[in-house]
Amino acid sequence: MTEVQMWVATAKIVEPSAVQTKCTAEGYTYYKGAIFCEVPEMGFFAPNLIYCRYGLSIPYLRVQEGWKLLALPTINNDTRWFYTGIVDCGGSITPADADQAIIQFVTQMIYAGTDGVIHLSSKTAAEAFVLGGKLKTYIDNYIDSYYNTHIHTTTATIGSGGTPGVISPPVTPAVKPTDIYSTKIMGE
């Protein structure tokens, strides 16, 4: 039985194009989600970084530079590393920018910006979602209070020999709400 030890690593190169460039320079095969880390307890400091492949239990999380990770060597306790968890954060992890992906589905993603806005499908999605409760109240009030019971300032003559009149707009027009769109959830 082989004993495998896990180590606390610090993410140092996380941006995908920078990771790909370093992989090419070092002769590694690039894998999506891979990063380069320091592992101080093993003596690995910049520029001598460990190449770690993605091994988290969630489909995708964009790890930020400086995050502490649980790293696991899989061969001879010193090669072919995976990072398998986030450690020593205590709830203090915050996205480095507004493009932080929080969940990736098969073909789409959910992005949470530092401004508190969630973008569904893509980080540039800008179509505001409708607030269901406000929309229902508007429809109920409009249909019941205005459409079904509205009156006109003039009436039309109906029947034989009558002269049709001009019907003017309702005395009480429907007022559209100004706060019906969500400011926190966007989609496309």
Q: In this structure, what CATH number is given to the domain that contains residue 70?
A: 2.40.50
Q: What value does the mean pLDDT of the chain take?
A: 77
Which of 14-18, 22-26, 106-110, 121-125 bottoms out in mean pLDDT, i.e. has the lowest?
A: 106-110
Contact 44, 50 (CB under 8 A): yes
- pLDDT, residue 45, reads 86
Q: Say if 141 falls within a structural domain.
A: yes
56: left (phi > 0), else alpha (psi -120 to 50), else beta? beta
Which of 77-81, 93-97, 109-113, 179-183 bottoms out in mean pLDDT, i.e. has the lowest?
A: 93-97
Statement: residue 163 has pLDDT above 60:
no
Parent domain of 171 = 127-187
Number of domains the chain is built from? 2
Statement: residue 102 has pLDDT above 60:
no
Residues 75 and 139 in one domain: no
Q: Say if 66 falls within a structural domain.
A: yes
**CA 157 to CA 166: how far, in whole Å?**
9
- pLDDT, residue 53, reads 92
